[in-house]
């Protein structure tokens, strides 16, 4: 496969060299197209040595090749990592003032943009609007990671790790044969509701019962659905990751708040995906003031009551004809059965069109960029097993949903 790796002028350009190596080791032909600023961070000799091909930012370096047209025309995949605020702005405006932006205009293959910049630049309305513009044109824009940036700064804007970028990029062109083609807009015009994150049930004004969900899988599902043309509402319960530009976000805290928000949004939805980790129980009577320790060390009893089964309610009372309902089941094996055993029992009990079962034992899934799931149908039959980044898992889930919509 012919991959074009665009590199913009950010400190994260050094990670692009590792990404290039991953693509090459997987057997792909890679042409690096850096910007002039990128060469201030990693030199031309490095890119050419690692790729085995010429790496120039200039349109006029090889006029007979007509590189500004040919590179994009012959590419099977274009990845820009890192993509700075400047590069994203020029791409959104349709400029072609260097070889990389000209390549983006001529490419007709899937394009993946991987932003990396300081938090303030990423959150600026201009950058957010430019990202929304690119996504509206079918360009895939990966959410930046959150963490340590240049110097002492920390926050969203960090370039994801090369392995995560490679998985997300190759997933765009390596979908199963019966899935939607890369770059498909098969969800165009569809309304999608996704719940994400973990609910928190207050014990008092300070403490709560919660779980380890960060919302990363639900956010990945939202970003993938948006890229495939859907209108997405994300019911967000205490997320620890940023949300995609262009998604309608409804913040909630507790299971009851999530239930109300999902049901309101689901009245016009073609698909409802319950990816949030919803607390099974809540305190019967949360304290109005902070609970104090008993002076005699006596144990405290807190009465818990069950929260409603939101997924089962959505299945039993579909709020729109033909609505597809997808559930998630975070399971651990025990003496009563394996993860798959518990998942199958839940599939039969809940009745969702698809149930995504993942093993969360030993710190897996929650907080990780990776996931490993088994997707079951309404009768508990195994449809697919997939392991990889949460973007890869999202792609397969939407492939299966799209089949049911058509």
Q: Are 363 and 394 in contact (CB under 8 A)?
A: no
- Here the tokens at position 201 are 């049930």
Per-residue exposure over 362-395, b if at least 16 CB sit within 10 Å of its own CB, e if not:
eeebbeebbbebbbbeeebeeebebebbbbbbbb
Reported for 16-20, long-range contacts at CB under 8 A and 24+ positions apart, including other chains, are 16/42, 16/81, 16/82, 16/162, 17/42, 17/46, 17/47, 17/50, 18/162, 19/79, 19/81, 19/162, 19/165, 19/166, 20/47, 20/50, 20/51
Q: Are 215 and 247 in contact (CB under 8 A)?
A: no
Exposed/middle/buried for residue 183 (C-beta within 10 Å: 0-12, 13-18, 19+): middle
Instruction: Indicate the DSSP class of residue 332.
Output: -
Q: Are 24 and 50 in contact (CB under 8 A)?
A: yes
Whole-angstrom distance, CA of residue 376 vs CA of residue 382: 5
Q: Are 35 and 89 in contact (CB under 8 A)?
A: no
Whole-angstrom distance, CA of residue 280 vs CA of residue 24: 47
Q: How far apart are the first and last CA of the chain?
A: 31
Strands 29-34 vs 2-7: parallel, antiparallel or unpaired? parallel
Angle at 263 between CA 311 and CA 404, to 5 degrees: 60
Angle at 243 between CA 242 and CA 246, to 5 degrees: 145
Q: CA separation (Å) from 267 to 84, 168, 206, 283?
A: 39, 32, 34, 29
Catalytic one of 211, 238, 358, 371: 211
Exposed/middle/buried for residue 164 (C-beta within 10 Å: 0-12, 13-18, 19+): buried
Whole-angstrom distance, CA of residue 123 vs CA of residue 322: 37
User: Is 211 marked active-site?
Assistant: yes
Neighbouring-strand partners of residue 191: 231
Task: List, by residue number, the catalytic residues.
Answer: 211
């Amino acid at each position: 496969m012919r991959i074009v790796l665009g590199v913009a002028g950010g400190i994260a350009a050094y990670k692009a060299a590792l990404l290039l190596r991953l693509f090459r080791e997987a057997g792909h032909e890679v042409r690096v197209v850096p910007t002039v600023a990128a060469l201030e961070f990693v030199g031309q000799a490095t890119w050419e040595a690692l790729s085995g091909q010429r790496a120039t930012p200039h349109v006029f370096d090889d006029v007979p090749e007509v590189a500004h047209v040919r590179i994009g025309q012959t590419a099977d995949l274009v990845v820009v990592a890192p993509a700075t605020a400047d590069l994203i702005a020029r791409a959104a405006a349709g400029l072609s003032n260097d070889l990389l932006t000209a390549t983006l205009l001529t490419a007709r293959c899937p394009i993946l943009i991987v932003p990396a910049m300081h938090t303030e630049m990423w959150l600026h309305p201009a950058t957010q609007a430019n990202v929304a513009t690119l996504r509206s044109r079918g360009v895939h824009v990966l959410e930046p990671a959150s963490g340590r940036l240049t110097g002492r700064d920390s926050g969203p804007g960090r370039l994801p790790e090369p392995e995560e970028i490679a998985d997300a990029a190759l997933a765009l062109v390596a979908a199963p044969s019966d899935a939607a083609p890369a770059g498909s807009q098969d969800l165009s015009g569809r309304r999608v509701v996704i719940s994400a994150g973990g609910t928190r049930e207050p014990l008092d004004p300070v403490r709560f019962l919660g779980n380890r969900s960060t919302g990363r899988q639900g956010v990945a599902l939202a970003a993938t659905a948006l890229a495939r043309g859907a209108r997405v509402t994300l019911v967000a319960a205490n997320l620890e990751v940023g949300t995609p530009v262009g998604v309608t976000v409804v913040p909630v805290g507790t299971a009851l708040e999530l239930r109300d928000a999902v049901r309101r949004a689901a009245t016009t939805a073609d698909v409802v995906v319950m990816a949030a980790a919803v607390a099974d129980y809540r305190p019967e009577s949360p304290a109005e003031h902070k609970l104090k320790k008993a002076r005699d060390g006596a144990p405290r009893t807190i009465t818990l009551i069950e929260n409603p089964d939101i997924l089962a309610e959505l299945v039993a009372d579909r709020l729109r004809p033909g609505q597809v309902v997808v559930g998630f089941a975070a399971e651990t094996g025990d003496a009563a059965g394996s993860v798959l055993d518990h998942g199958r029992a839940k599939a039969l009990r809940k009745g969702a069109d698809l149930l995504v079962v993942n093993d969360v034992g030993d710190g897996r899934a929650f907080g990780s960029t990776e996931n490993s799931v088994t997707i079951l149908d309404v009768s508990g039959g195994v449809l697919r097993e997939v392991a990889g980044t949460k973007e890869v898992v999202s792609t397969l889930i939407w492939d299966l949903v799209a089949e049911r919509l058509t």
